[in-house]
Amino acid sequence: MSNFITKDFEPCSAAAWKQKIQVDLKGVDYNEALLTKTNEGITIKPFYHLDEFEKLNIPATNDDFKICENVYITFEKETQKRAEEIINRGAHAIKFIAKNEFNIDELFENLLGKDIEFHFQFEFISEKFISALASTLKNETVFYNVDIIGNLAKTGNWYSSFNNDFDIVKKLISTNTLLSVNANIYQNAGANTVQQVAYTLAHANEYLTKFGGETATNIQFNFAIGSNYFFEISKIRAFKYLLNLVLQKYNTSVQAKIYAEPTLRNKTLYDYNVNLLRTTTESMSAILGGATTIANTPYDVLFHNSNEFGDRIARNQLLVLREESYFSNAQHIASDSYYIEAITKQIAEKALLIFKEIEQSGGFLHQLKKGTIQRKIRENAQKERGQFNEGKLVLLGTNKYPNELDKMKDNLDINPFLKHNPQKTLIIPILAKRLADKLELKRLKDEA
């Protein structure tokens, strides 16, 4: 048998590769033809080589990711039964979304002691209620996701006031995993990858400055994941690296708890089945980046109320990835990839520069109050909108290869478009904006 497959190839340097490429280009400029500049100012090269490889020290995630599903709290008994059903069908975590206080005992009847993560998304803040909830769930793994700065960024107002909100957090801070940093706000509004990492870091540093470096173990970081596959893997890795770089100032380090979900920014109303492909690759990016908990987004989330079919498909996408597609404990796969390591390094370097600028200018809260963060996100969102309109940023089935026979006017259970009621706010709120919304509005109006 020939040993052609097994014998070593002669080594080839990066310079030799580039020289060969330049010969094949026949006079075309290498930089113009093969180097790509992204909106973040990152340069993508045609090849990556060991000669230029530099590995960052990124904390590894030891455990496999948890599959989470969102549940809105309506009637406690019904919500409790729904949660039981989700657990029985393979979820390892439940995220309860609560607009108001609820009956704790009714909701958690038959749910305790099942080795399930409980996550919360509160649209209010109450020291008394969260204390009671923490008492009931003292033997469970719980993430309360209190983010008073995130609420300010998203709504433009504190829950009550700066002093009162921080005072409540101070009283509750000993509660395990009380805080969160909702980075999804920035992604869904149109921030680029570098901005997301920088703003999340600066956002977190406000809590670290106020409550001490040990607070880092008490924070969950919630990221929205977009469709730029390798950049999204690198985004999570770059953040984990930078977080521990910043924590060196506080003489501590953490293995960051990362909660990830697909972004809504690129989801579409027309040709909505493509959303299944988008959320699958976005979930894959989250896994390979090292997210600890992942909640998938149903393909019909824009226009249907929560329903059994959409929720089941979303959950099964993650189950197939974890159990049948070799993505169980797969976060190590991204390590030592020349390309991913190079992109991670560039994101980290650029995000660190922005973070330092924010800190030198008075900190994240100061920049929010001045409107600087909002302006920077808006500028990038407008750039992406222009690229979408020109067809350079593609959403398949929407601005490329649309199905003109696709009709949606009679298929809308909910309004898929942002409703913003102008009201007096302390700061300019950071609002989610989908790329396809204006085009979809026009198509709906033009439907016969």
| pLDDT in the model for residue 1 | 44
Token pair for 36: 């790509």
Whole-prediction pTM: 0.95
CA distance 432 to 265: 7
The mean per-residue pLDDT over the stretch 157-167 comes to 97
Nearest to 249 by CA among 289, 217, 208: 208
**Cα 27 from chain centroid (whole Å):** 42
The CATH fold assigned to 66-344 is: TIM Barrel (3.20.20)
SS3 label, residue 75: coil
**Sheet strands side by side (includes 66-72):** 141-143, 117-122, 93-98, 66-72, 293-295, 257-262, 219-225, 179-182
Crossing angle for the helix pair 162-172 and 127-136, to the nearest 10 degrees: 20
Mean pLDDT computed over every residue of the chain: 94
Mind listing the pLDDT tens digit for each residue in 404-426?
Answer: 999 999 999 999 997 777 789 99
Other beta carbons less than 10 A from residue 11's beta carbon: 7
CA angle 227, 230, 234 (to 5 degrees): 110
**Cα 353 from chain centroid (whole Å):** 21
8 Å CB contact between 182 and 152: no
CA distance 416 to 185: 18
**Cα 273 from chain centroid (whole Å):** 21
- Which of the 8 DSSP states describes residue 333? G
**Strand-pair category, 219-225 with 36-37:** unpaired
CA distance 38 to 218: 34
Nearest to 191 by CA among 31, 383, 18, 17: 383
Q: In the chain, where are the structural domains located?
A: 66-344
Mind listing the pLDDT tens digit for each residue in 215-257?
Answer: 999 999 999 999 999 999 999 999 999 999 999 999 999 999 9
**Strand-pair category, 179-182 with 43-44:** unpaired
Q: Report residue 258: phi and psi, to 5°.
A: -115, 120
| pLDDT in the model for residue 63 | 82
Mind listing the pLDDT tens digit for each residue in 185-225?
Answer: 999 999 999 999 999 999 999 999 999 999 999 999 999 99
Give 357's pLDDT tier (boundaries 50, 70, 90). very high
